[in-house]
């Protein structure tokens, strides 16, 4: 807990520190302090933070403050990741088309995004493609999610997927943006598609588990957390599985 407090003191907009400190308070039964800490983190998340941490924080905060967010819903067929008819998508438009979109978009954003700032975001991408234009656009999409411009982020990610439907980063970005908007069905569909593209990513199983948990799909959430843990024994995933 002390390390989290120190992190907040040194960087008040560091969302991950608020997330972890709130979990520490919850673990020792200080639920009011937990919620207060998460609320403070959520208020800071528009200025700094990674998509995964912000998504998790807001989902947890929504479940803690308003349990009615958890509503029973019907399952839909796309929840089954291992669909034998699924084939990994191919590039459907040319690199020239991506270049046109890239140039048009950055002409609009030139004053707000410097090349050095963009390079910093691109270097931190977990699912980079190696294509600078695509990775720049994914980076900007994530930046839009982190700054609360969810509609713009989804627009960017969907355009990228119209060029290359096999991109994992945009699918995760759409899932995160939709979850933060409270559109849990759309978020689950996006994460399911991401798992069809690459079922070996533990974080995708975890994110879908978090979203299913928010919809009170407890057994499905537990299945996702179990699969995430098989791939990566992350302590936080154990904690979330135990909570459900």
Based on the domain organization, do 118 and 223 belong to the same domain? yes
Q: What is the domain count for the chain?
A: 2
Handedness of CA 146, 151, 154, 156 (dihedral sign): negative
**What's the token pair of residue 83?**
């669909």
Q: Are 34 and 23 in contact (CB under 8 A)?
A: yes
Residue 45 confidence (pLDDT)? 53
Based on the domain organization, do 44 and 81 belong to the same domain? no
Based on the domain organization, do 85 and 9 belong to the same domain? no
130-133 contact pairs (CB < 8 A, 24+) = 133/98, 133/99, 133/102
Based on the domain organization, do 83 and 183 belong to the same domain? yes
Q: Which residue has the higher pLDDT, 243 or 78?
A: 243
Could you tell me the residue range of the domain that residue 41 belongs to?
A: 2-49
Based on the domain organization, do 212 and 160 belong to the same domain? yes
Answer yes or no: is 62 within a domain. Answer: no
Partnered with residue 164 across adjacent β-strands are: 91
Based on the domain organization, do 24 and 136 belong to the same domain? no
How far is residue 153 from each of residues 121, 174, 181, 214, measured CA to CA in Å? Answer: 15, 8, 12, 22
Residue 85 to residue 95: CA distance in whole angstroms: 28
Answer yes or no: is 6 within a domain. Answer: yes
* CATH number where 102 lies: 1.25.40.10
Based on the domain organization, do 34 and 77 belong to the same domain? no
Is 50 exceeded by the pLDDT of residue 202? yes
- How far is CA 1 from its chain centroid? 25
Answer yes or no: is 174 within a domain. Answer: yes
Based on the domain organization, do 81 and 202 belong to the same domain? yes
Residue 184 to residue 73: CA distance in whole angstroms: 10
- Average of per-residue pLDDT values in the chain: 75
Range of 5-19, 87-101, 127-141, 194-208 with top mean pLDDT: 194-208
Answer yes or no: is 197 within a domain. Answer: yes
Answer yes or no: is 55 within a domain. Answer: no
Based on the domain organization, do 42 and 74 belong to the same domain? no
Give the tens place of pLDDT for each residue, 35-52: 887 777 776 654 444 555
How far is residue 63 from each of residues 38, 53, 60, 133, measured CA to CA in Å? Answer: 12, 15, 5, 38
Q: What global pTM score does this model have?
A: 0.65
Q: Are 224 and 208 in contact (CB under 8 A)?
A: yes
Is 50 exceeded by the pLDDT of residue 231? yes
């Amino acid at each position: 807990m002390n390390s989290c407090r120190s992190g907040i003191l040194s960087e008040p907009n560091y969302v991950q520190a608020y997330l972890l400190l709130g979990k520490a308070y919850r673990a020792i039964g200080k639920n009011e302090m937990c919620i207060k800490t998460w609320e403070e983190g959520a208020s800071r998340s528009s200025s700094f933070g990674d998509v995964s941490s912000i998504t998790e924080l807001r989902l947890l905060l929504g479940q803690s403050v308003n349990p009615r967010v958890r509503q029973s819903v019907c399952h839909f067929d796309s929840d089954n990741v291992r669909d034998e008819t699924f084939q990994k998508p191919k590039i459907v438009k040319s690199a020239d088309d991506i270049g046109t979109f890239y140039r048009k978009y950055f002409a609009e954003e030139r004053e707000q995004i410097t090349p050095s700032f963009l390079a910093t975001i691109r270097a931190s991408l977990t699912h980079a493609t190696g294509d600078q234009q695509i990775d720049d656009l994914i980076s900007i999409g994530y930046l839009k999610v982190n700054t609360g411009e969810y509609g713009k982020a989804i627009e960017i990610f969907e355009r990228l997927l119209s060029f290359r439907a096999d991109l994992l980063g945009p699918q995760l970005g759409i899932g995160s943006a939709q979850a933060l908007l409270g559109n849990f069905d759309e978020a689950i569909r996006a994460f399911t598609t991401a798992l069809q593209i690459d079922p070996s990513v533990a974080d995708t199983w975890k994110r879908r588990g978090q979203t299913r948990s928010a919809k009170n799909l407890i057994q499905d959430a537990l299945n996702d957390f179990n699969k995430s843990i098989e791939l990566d024994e992350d302590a936080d995933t154990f904690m979330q599985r135990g909570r459900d």
